[in-house]
Structure 1
Amino acid sequence: MSHGVPRVAVGEKTEASRRKELKQIEAYQGLVDNVQAKIKAEEYTAETLSLTSALLSQNPEYYTIWNHRRLVLQHVFAKEIHSPPAEDAESKPPPGLTPAQHEITLLIREDLAFLLPLLKQFPKCYWVWNHRAWLLQQASQYLPVTSAKHLWLEEMALVSKMLSYDSRNFHGWTYRREVVKSIELLSAQEQLSALELDDKKEEKKEKKPDQSMTESEFAYTTKMINTNLSNFSAWHNRLQLIPKLLKERNADPAARRKFLDDEFELIITALYTDPVDQSLWFYYNYLMTNLSPKTSPELRIVADLTNKHRIDYLDTQFDLLKDMLEDNKDCKWIYLALVTYTPEYLEIDAGNKKITTLELSEWLDQLDQLDPLRKGRWLDLRKSLNL
C-alpha cells in the first residue's frame, strides 16, 4: 500500500509469459522508432499524435514523447490560428469564440480526456500532471479569458476529486497550487476587462475585491487535515497560505495573536491524538519558529512578540509537552522538541526554573536510547548545553 493505494504483486514469469513480453517489447520499440522518425521528419500530423498516444499509454514516464506530443499540438494550434475559417463549416462556434478558438478548445478537451485514464492509473506520474498544466496554459494563451477560466475551474474540480482518492499525493497538491494561481490570474484579468468596459460605457460601479482564493484554500486544508491528520502536504500547503491569508485579512496584532493561539490549539490537539506522526511535528516546529526572535518579522505570524510573550508561549508549550510525555514515554519526537527548544527558552529567560539540568540530561538519555543512530547529534547537544 502507498497512501492507501494498493500495489499489484508481481509473480514469477512462465516461459509463455516471457515470450509474450518479448513480443511486447519488440512492438514497443518499433512504436518508439516510428514516433522518433516522424518527429525527425517534422510530420506533425494526427497520425503522429495517435502514435504518441499509443506509446504514452504504455509508458507515461517517457518524458521525451510528451515533448514530441507538445510539438505536434503546438503545430496544430498554430495552424488553426493562421488558417482562414472554412466557409462550409457545418456548425458555428459558440458565442465569444472564433472558429479557430473553438477547434483549439476541442483539441484541448480531447487531450485532457486522453490524460484522465492515465492520471487514474498513474497518479504519481509527474509528466501526466505536467502535460495537463501545459494544455491549460495553452488555453490561457489562445482562448478568451472566460473560456480559459472555465477550463481551469473544471480542472480544480478534478484535482479535488483526485485528492479525495489520495489526499497525500504531493503531485496533486503542487498541481492544485498551480491551478489556483491560474484561476486567480484569469479572474483578475476578467475583472479588469469588465472595469474597462464599464469605463467605456461611462458606468461608475464600485470596484469588486480581488478574486483571491486564499480563504477557500485555507479552509480546504482544514477540511483535509480533519479527514486525515497525517497529511504532510495539507499541513505544508497551510503554512504556505498563512502569510498571504493574514495580509489579505489586514490582520492587526491582536488578530494575529489569536490566529497563532488557534493554530497552536489545532496542532496540540492533533499531537495528543497521534504524537508519533512526523507530519504533525513539522507543522508544530513551524509554529515554534514564530516564537524565535531570530526569525525574520516578515515571516512571523505575530511580528511584535516581546520576550514576555515568548516566555508565556514557551511556558505553555513546555507544560503541554511534559504532559504529553506522561503517556508517551517512548516517543522520540516529544523528547526532541523539549531538547530543541530548551536553548532558546534559556536564552530568553536564563534564570527560569521550568527546566532543570537533571530533566534535560534525562531527555537526552532517552534520545540516545530511542535514536542511537544520531548519537553524535545528541552528544553535540550535550556539549552545547554544558551537560
Structure 2
Amino acid sequence: MSHGVPRVAVGEKTEASRRKELKQIEAYQGLVDNVQAKIKAEEYTAETLSLTSALLSQNPEYYTIWNHRRLVLQHVFAKEIHSPPAEDAESKPPPGLTPAQHEITLLIREDLAFLLPLLKQFPKCYWVWNHRAWLLQQASQYLPVTSAKRLWLEEMALVSKMLSYDSRNFHGWTYRREVVKSIELLSAQEQLSALELDDKTEEKKEKKPDQSMTESEFAYTTKMINTNLSNFSAWHNRLQLIPKLLKERNADPAARRKFLDDEFELIITALYTDPVDQSLWFYYNYLMTNLSPKTSPELRIVADLTNKHRIDYLDTQFDLLKDMLEDNKDCKWIYLALVTYTPEYLEIDAGNKKITTLELSDWLDQLDQLDPLRKGRWLDLRKSLNL
C-alpha cells in the first residue's frame, strides 16, 4: 500500500508487448538524440520547438529539454524584437502593442496552452510550473505593463482553479505566491505610469495606495481552510501573510491583540474538530511562539506582551489542551504541546499551580507509549525538567 492505493501485481510480459516496448524506447531515444543534435547545432527553429513538445509530452520530468525549449523561445523573442515589421502583415496588432510584441504575446499564449494538458496530467511536476513562470516573466520583460499584467491575472485564475481541484498541492501554492508578487509589482508600475501621466497633463488626482493583494490573499487562505482544515499549505501561506497584513493595516497594539485572540480561537476550534491533524498543530505552534520573549519582536503578532499577558495566554491554552485531552487520550500531539510549553510556562512563573510534577511525568509516560521511536527525546525532556 502507498498513500492508501494498493499495489497492482504486474504479470509477465508477452513477447509482443516486449517488442512493442522496445520500439517505444527506440523511438523515444531517437527523439532525444534529434533534439540534442539540433540544439548543439543551434538550430533554434519551429521544428526544434515542435520536437521538444513531442519529447516533453512523453516525459515532462526531463528538465534539460525544458532548458533547450527556453533557448529556442529566447532566440525567437529576440528575433521578433529586432526584426522590422512586415509590410504585408495580414492583420494589425491590438492597440498598445507593436507587431513584435503582438507576435511574442501569441507565442507565449501558445506555449501556455501547450502546458495545460501537462499540468493537468502532472500537477506536481516542478518543471511544468517553472516553465509557466518563465513564460510570464518573459511577458513582463517584453510586453507593455498592461498586457503583461493581463496574462498574469489570467494565470491567477488558472492557479485558483487548479487549487480548487487539489487544494493541498504545495506546488500550486508556491506558484500562487509568485503570481501574486508579479501582479503587485506590475500594478505598482501601472500606477506609477498613471501618476506620471497625471503630472504631465497637470491633472490633480488623489494618489491611490499600492495595489497590494495581501488582504484578498489572507481571505483566500480563510476560504481554503474552511473548505479543508487539513490544508497545510493554506495555513503556511496564512502565517507568511500575517506580518505584511498587520503592517499594511497599520494595526495598533489593541488591534494586534484582537487579531492574535481571533487566530487562537480559529485554530482551537479546528483542533477540537480534528486533534490528530498535524497541519493544525503546525499553525498552533506558530501562534504559541508569539508568546515567547525569545521570539524576535518583528516576527510577533503582538510585540509588547508583558509576563502577565503571557501567563494569561498560557493559563488559557493549558486549560484548553487539558480539556481537549479528556476525549482524546491517545492523541500524541496534545501531550507534545503540553510538555513543549511547560518549560516556558515555568520560566515565566516557576511557582504556578497550573502544572503538577505528577501530571508532567504522566504526559511524558504517554509520549513514551504513543511515540516509542523518540524515546531519547522524551528522556532528554525528563532530564531538563528534573523528573
Deviations 1:323-372 (A, max 9, x none): 00000000000000000000000000001000000000000000000000
Aligned residue in 2 for 1:143: 143
Structure 1: distance between partners of 2:306 and 2:13: 68
Structure 2: distance between partners of 1:358 and 1:12: 61
Structure 2: distance between partners of 1:104 and 1:6: 47
Deviations 1:296-335 (A, max 9, x none): 0000000000000000000000000000000000000000
- Quickly say closer, same or farther: Cα 1:189–1:7, change in 2 above 3 A: farther
Aligned ranges for residues 359-374 of structure 1 at < 5 Å? Answer: 359-374=359-374
Deviations 1:144-177 (A, max 9, x none): 0000000000000000000001000000000000
Structure 1: distance between partners of 2:112 and 2:15: 39
- Quickly say closer, same or farther: Cα 1:212–1:365, change in 2 above 3 A: same
Deviations 1:235-260 (A, max 9, x none): 00000000000000000000000000
Residue 265 of structure 2 aligns to a residue whose secondary structure is: helix
- Quickly say closer, same or farther: Cα 1:11–1:245, change in 2 above 3 A: farther
Q: How much has 1:106 moved relative to structure 2?
A: 0.1
TM-score (normalised: structure 1): 0.98
Q: How much has 1:5 moved relative to structure 2?
A: 10
Residue 167 of structure 1 aligns to a residue whose secondary structure is: coil
Residue 353 of structure 2 aligns to a residue whose secondary structure is: coil
Deviations 1:73-117 (A, max 9, x none): 000000000000000001000000000000000000000000000
Instruction: Establish whether residue 263 from structure 1 lines up as the match of residue 263 from structure 2.
Output: yes
- Quickly say closer, same or farther: Cα 1:58–1:327, change in 2 above 3 A: same
Deviations 1:34-60 (A, max 9, x none): 000000000000000000000000000
Structure 2: distance between partners of 1:271 and 1:37: 58
Q: How much has 1:9 moved relative to structure 2?
A: 8.5
* Aligned 8 A contact 1:3 1:168 in 2: no
Total equivalences in the alignment: 387
Aligned residue in 2 for 1:319: 319
Residue 280 of structure 1 aligns to a residue whose secondary structure is: helix
The alignment yields a C-alpha RMSD, in angstroms, of 1.6
Q: How much has 1:4 moved relative to structure 2?
A: 10
Any stretches of 5+ residues in structure 1 without a counterpart? none
* Aligned 8 A contact 1:235 1:283 in 2: yes
- Quickly say closer, same or farther: Cα 1:290–1:325, change in 2 above 3 A: same
- Quickly say closer, same or farther: Cα 1:5–1:190, change in 2 above 3 A: farther
Aligned ranges for residues 113-192 of structure 1 at < 5 Å? Answer: 113-192=113-192
Aligned residue in 1 for 2:378: 378
Structure 2: distance between partners of 1:279 and 1:119: 26
Structure 1: distance between partners of 2:2 and 2:76: 39
Residue 20 of structure 2 aligns to a residue whose secondary structure is: helix
The range that moved more, 224-233 or 17-26, is 17-26
Q: How much has 1:20 moved relative to structure 2?
A: 1.1
Q: How much has 1:15 moved relative to structure 2?
A: 3.0
Aligned residue in 1 for 2:68: 68
- Quickly say closer, same or farther: Cα 1:7–1:207, change in 2 above 3 A: farther
- Quickly say closer, same or farther: Cα 1:197–1:360, change in 2 above 3 A: same
Q: How much has 1:12 moved relative to structure 2?
A: 5.3
Q: How much has 1:190 moved relative to structure 2?
A: 0.1
Structure 2: distance between partners of 1:245 and 1:142: 32
Q: How much has 1:7 moved relative to structure 2?
A: 10
Aligned residue in 1 for 2:98: 98
Structure 2: distance between partners of 1:32 and 1:126: 20
- Quickly say closer, same or farther: Cα 1:5–1:197, change in 2 above 3 A: farther
Structure 2: distance between partners of 1:137 and 1:15: 49
* Aligned 8 A contact 1:5 1:166 in 2: no
Structure 2: distance between partners of 1:72 and 1:276: 50
Structure 2: distance between partners of 1:11 and 1:355: 60
Residue 330 of structure 1 aligns to a residue whose secondary structure is: coil
Q: How much has 1:14 moved relative to structure 2?
A: 3.3
* Aligned 8 A contact 1:3 1:166 in 2: no
* Aligned 8 A contact 1:168 1:232 in 2: yes
Q: How much has 1:22 moved relative to structure 2?
A: 1.0
Instruction: Establish whether residue 283 from structure 1 lines up as the match of residue 283 from structure 2.
Output: yes
Q: How much has 1:204 moved relative to structure 2?
A: 1.1
Structure 2: distance between partners of 1:188 and 1:75: 30
* Aligned 8 A contact 1:115 1:128 in 2: yes
Q: How much has 1:21 moved relative to structure 2?
A: 1.2
* Aligned 8 A contact 1:275 1:333 in 2: yes
Residue 304 of structure 1 aligns to a residue whose secondary structure is: coil
Residue 53 of structure 1 aligns to a residue whose secondary structure is: helix
Residue 308 of structure 1 aligns to a residue whose secondary structure is: helix
Structure 2: distance between partners of 1:15 and 1:155: 47
TM-score (normalised: structure 2): 0.98
Q: How much has 1:17 moved relative to structure 2?
A: 2.0
- Quickly say closer, same or farther: Cα 1:338–1:128, change in 2 above 3 A: same
Q: How much has 1:294 moved relative to structure 2?
A: 0.4
Q: How much has 1:8 moved relative to structure 2?
A: 9.1
